[in-house]
Amino acid sequence: MRIHRVNGKSLRDALERARALHGENALVLSHETTTFGVTVAIADAAQKVAFPAALEPEPAAPRDELARQDPGRADVARRLARAGASEAFVKELVGELERRGARGIGALDVAAELVADRVRLAPSPKVGQEPCVLAFVGPTGVGKTTTLAKLGSRLVRAGRRVALVTTDAQRAGGIEHLGAHAKLLQAPFHVARAPEELARAVAACGTVDAVLVDTAGHSPRDRELVTGLAETLARAERRTPLVRYLVLSATASRAALELAAETFQPLTPEGLVITKLDETREPLGALELALARDLPLGFLCDGQDIARDLHRPKREHVADLCLRGRLA
C-alpha cells in the first residue's frame, strides 16, 4: 500500500484534490491542519475517498466544470456573466469556442471576434446627402435630447450645417431644452407643435447637412402615445424620408428593454442608440436585445459630456462591452 499526502486550503479542498489525483477508491488515512491549510494522507486501496456527510461536495457548477476543461473558456464565461449576459448567451458562445477548438489565452481573442461578428452595426447617417433627417425616439429620460445634442455638436465641429427640430412641445421645458442646445450650436431651431407641423418644420430648416428631430419621451406602457408618434413621423415621411433611432438606456432591466423595444416597434427604428453605458457594468442586456431583434447599433453613449461621450460603434466596442463590461 502506497501512502500519499495531499494538501488543500481546507479539508474539503484537500479531499477533492485527493479524489482527483488518486481516484474514488483511495483510502483516507488521516488529516491534519497545518499553517498552510489541511493535509490528508491517502492510501491506494479499494475504498472510496470518504467525505464526512457535511463536506460531501456539491455537483460541480457548469462554470467549474468548464474551468476544469479549459481555463481560457471559463474566463470568457466569467467575463460574459459579469457583463450581464444571460445563461443562454454564455452557453452558446462558449459552445462555439469549443467547436472552434479555442482554448487557453487564445479563447478571449476568438470570443471577441465572435461577439463582434454577431452584432450588426448601422451604417453612418448620410450627412450632407439631402435630405438627411434623423429622428430620436424612445422612453422617457433615456437621453434622446442629449444624444441629439451630442451628434449636433460633433457635426458642427466637423464643419457641417445642422438644424434642430422638436416635437416635444407639450411638456414643460421640452422646447427650452433643445432650444438651449440649438443656441449653443448656433443652429436653426424649429418646433412642431402638432403632428401635421413636423414636415413643415423640417422643410423650414432649409439647406443643411442634417436635420435632427427630437421627440417627447413616452412610457413604453402607453401604446396610444407611441402610436400617435408613429403617425406623426409617418405623416412627415410622406414629404421627406426619416431615419429613426430608438434610444434605450443600458441601465434598464431586461424586462424594461424588451417592453420598450416591443412598444416602439411600430416606429420601425433603423438603429439602436444605447446610452448610459458609463452607469452600468452589465451592458449585455441591451446588446442581447439588439441581437434578438436584429437591431443594428447606431450610436453608443457613455456619459453626459456633449462634446465627448458619443461613439459610432465599432466591432472593438462590442467586444469590450461584452468581455469587459465597458467601452475601453
Ligand X SMILES: Nc1nc2c(ncn2[C@@H]2O[C@H](COP(=O)(O)OP(=O)(O)OP(=O)(O)O)[C@@H](O)[C@H]2O)c(=O)[nH]1
| Contact residues for ligand X, defined by CB under 6 A | 140-146, 168, 217, 275-276, 278-279, 301-304, 309
User: Which of Mg ion, ligand X, none interacts with 237 (beta carbon under 5 to 8 A by kind)?
Assistant: none
Choose the binding region for Mg ion from 8-16, 97-105, 139-147, 248-256 (rule: CB under 5 A).
Answer: 139-147
Cα separation, 113 vs 125, whole angstroms: 25
Please state the closest distance from residue 196 (CB atom) to ligand X, in A.
Answer: 22
Select 8 or 215, whichever has its Cβ closest to ligand X.
Answer: 215
Q: What's the grid cell of residue 167? A: 416635437
Q: Does residue 145 interact with Mg ion by CB under 5 A? A: yes
Please state the closest distance from residue 180 (CB atom) to ligand X, in A.
Answer: 11
Select 104 or 141, whichever has its Cβ closest to ligand X.
Answer: 141
Which three-class secondary structure state does DSSP give residue 18?
helix
Write the CB contacts of 150 (distance below 8 Å, at least 6 apart in sequence).
301, 306, 307, 309, 310
Q: Does residue 146 interact with Mg ion by CB under 5 A? A: no
Q: What's the one-letter identity of residue 164?
A: L
Cα separation, 185 vs 163, whole angstroms: 9
Please state the closest distance from residue 173 (CB atom) to Mg ion, in A.
Answer: 9
Please state the closest distance from residue 250 (CB atom) to ligand X, in A.
Answer: 8
Select 74 or 215, whichever has its Cβ closest to Mg ion.
Answer: 215
Please state the closest distance from residue 169 (CB atom) to ligand X, in A.
Answer: 12
Select 49 or 137, whichever has its Cβ closest to Mg ion.
Answer: 137
Select 146 or 232, whichever has its Cβ closest to ligand X.
Answer: 146
User: Which of Mg ion, ligand X, none interacts with 153 (beta carbon under 5 to 8 A by kind)?
Assistant: none
CA distances from 110 to 101, 191, 221 (A): 10, 49, 40
Q: What's the grid cell of residue 61? A: 457548477
265-286: buried (b, 16+ CB within 10 Å) or exposed (e) per residue? eebebbbbbbbbbbebebbbbb
Cα separation, 308 vs 303, whole angstroms: 8
Where along the sequence are the contacts to Mg ion (CB under 5 A)?
A: 144-145
